[in-house]
Structure 1
Amino acid sequence: MSTTNQKSQDARPAAPLEGKVAIVTGAAQGIGNAIAHGLAAEGAHVVIADLHGAEEAAQALPQKSAGIEVDVADEHAVARMAEETITRFGGIDLLVNNAGLFASLVMRPFTEIPLAEWRRVMDVNVASMFLACQAVVPHMRERGGGKIVNISSATPFLGVPLRLHYVTSKGAIIAFTRALAKELGPDGINVNCIAPGFTLSAGVLEHDAVLDQLSRAAVSARAIKRDQQPEDLVGAALFLCRPTSDFVTGQTLVVDGGLYLH
């Protein structure tokens, strides 16, 4: 190799997230998986944390990565997730709280939602983020900062009916993000939120009733007249994880093709 070519290669800028360690929950498929691939493509070591299929999904990533099977609503399992990440990669810089329940939930009046189902949705969609942040933030403080991205939904802004527990949980994530951003700002930890529109993730595609009920209505109401794909969330997630967003915190970015405008 010539000296000129060697200098040219040496001069290439490092990937924006080179060497960073990221945990993405619920990333064996769907939105979380798309974000995991985006982070890995920018140089991050990604830990895919999911109830099933985490190790298989991690094997498909281009960087040195890992899969950890974990119930994100279980306090001890989430603590183990953080410790295993530290053991394998030496630290934690990024956390994407993506795991949640949606497609498997039946649309019905709130008077027909069982209390046990309400509590399960709150555990998986909200308490999981609380537990993950509790487990991860001490390690971020040791690194001098970090980025947390919480995945909410556009439904709290729209007031979507017949899934009151889901919509309430996603609204709670927005409030959680704002309060935690204020608390962690002095530590150099940014906390932001992404609110997707109705997305054709793998879980949604497994439920024909959900597609029939929501897909056509969502497309017709958007400014951009097409289905939303998991890949449509990657750019927003990468922006909130990169150093270029270091002065952005406590914000919710709606990514829904122009359905909700605020």
Structure 2
Amino acid sequence: MTDIDLQLPTRVAVTGGASGIGLACARLYRSAGAGVGLIGRSATRLDAAARTLGEGGPAVVTAAADVADEAAVRAGIDRIAGELGGLDALVVSAGIDGEMGASVAEVTSAGFREVLEVNVLGVFLAVKAALPHLTQSPGSTITIIGSDSGFVSVPGMLAYNASKGAIVQLVRALAFELYDEHGIRVNSVAPSVVDTPMARRGLGDDAIDDPAFPLQSAEDVAWSVAYLSSGRARAVNGTTLLSDFGYTGRSSFPA
């Protein structure tokens, strides 16, 4: 069988690139020959992530920025685009889970606001900052990491559920405007629980390591992102791809 060329982008910026899904996406793109830029809050963690991608090969650029800080995000993406010679794709992976386990009465306004600023405003700001660069690259793409929590509600995750529901509609709104005006496709991947540092902090190692738990890897999600950003998905726009083993349509996970 002949290997299929996915026609992947060659210059990619990734927010939340220091770990988890973002880093897995960067690793996949780089292995396919792309230059990648990693954006995250901590310069130290970004440098450590960049080292895991190895030396030589395509360029790796890091830019420390809080995704809720418009000026910082713009400066970071401008730097990445400058060093890579442009941008063909943006992957928005930065996100937080907030006050996990808190009831409505217990959730603080500050905690709720922080989740929305990172998970929703941060997406908008990254897209806005990347747009001048993406418009210069025909067939460019934006892929946003959502969650099955945008479709089903889990108690104790009020702000997170709200933020991921917002992403579903944001993707639709962005997709049609940006495709009609610039030919830029916008899609999202909405995974169920992924084995990432954030999930382990929120759910605990015992739940994550339970063989019966329907768990996927960050690399599983990265392959979905890669497809949506590829030339082979040129007709896919405004879509949220559920990556959840089919469980979103059920009332509960299997015991």
TM-score (norm 1): 0.85
Shift of 1:28: 0.8
Contact 2:185 2:236 (C-alpha < 8 Å) held by counterparts? yes
State how far apart, in whole Å, the 2-side matches of 1:15 and 1:162 are.
Answer: 39
Matching of residues 111-260 of structure 1 within 5 Å? 111-186=105-180, 187-205=182-200, 207=201, 210-211=203-204, 215=208, 226-260=214-248
Other-structure match for 2:15: 25
SS of structure 2 residue aligned to 1:166: helix
Bigger drift between 79-88 and 112-121 goes to 79-88
Q: Deviations over 1:33-68 (max 9, x none)?
A: 111111111121110111121122123325221111
Q: 1:54 aligns with which of 46, 52, 66?
A: 46
Contact 1:154 1:254 (C-alpha < 8 Å) held by counterparts? yes
Contact 1:110 1:163 (C-alpha < 8 Å) held by counterparts? no
State the AA in 1 paired with 2:137.
R
State how far apart, in whole Å, the 2-side matches of 1:160 and 1:216 are.
Answer: 20
Contact 1:121 1:169 (C-alpha < 8 Å) held by counterparts? yes
Count of residues paired in the alignment: 242
Q: What root-mean-square deviation, in Å, do the aligned CA atoms of Structure 1 and Structure 2 show?
A: 2.3
Change (3 A) 1:156 1:214: farther
Shift of 1:143: 2.0
Q: Which structure has more RCO (C-alpha within 8 Å, separation ≥ 6)?
A: 2
State how far apart, in whole Å, the 1-side matches of 2:191 and 2:5 are.
Answer: 30
Other-structure match for 1:76: 71
Higher percent of residues as helix: 1
The alignment-based identity, stated in percent, is 33
Shift of 1:86: 2.3
Change (3 A) 1:13 1:125: closer
Change (3 A) 1:213 1:118: farther
> Which residues of structure 2 form unaligned runs of 5+?
251-255
SS of structure 2 residue aligned to 1:27: coil
Q: 2:28 aligns with which of 35, 38, 47?
A: 38
Q: 2:7 aligns with which of 6, 11, 16?
A: 16
Other-structure match for 1:101: 96
Shift of 1:145: 3.7
TM-score (norm 2): 0.87
Other-structure match for 2:85: 90
> Which residues of structure 1 form unaligned runs of 5+?
1-11
State the AA in 2 paired with 1:182.
F
State the AA in 2 paired with 1:69.
A
State how far apart, in whole Å, the 2-side matches of 1:13 and 1:60 are.
Answer: 27
Change (3 A) 1:46 1:37: same
User: Could you say which structure has the larger radius of gyration?
Assistant: 1
Shift of 1:175: 0.5
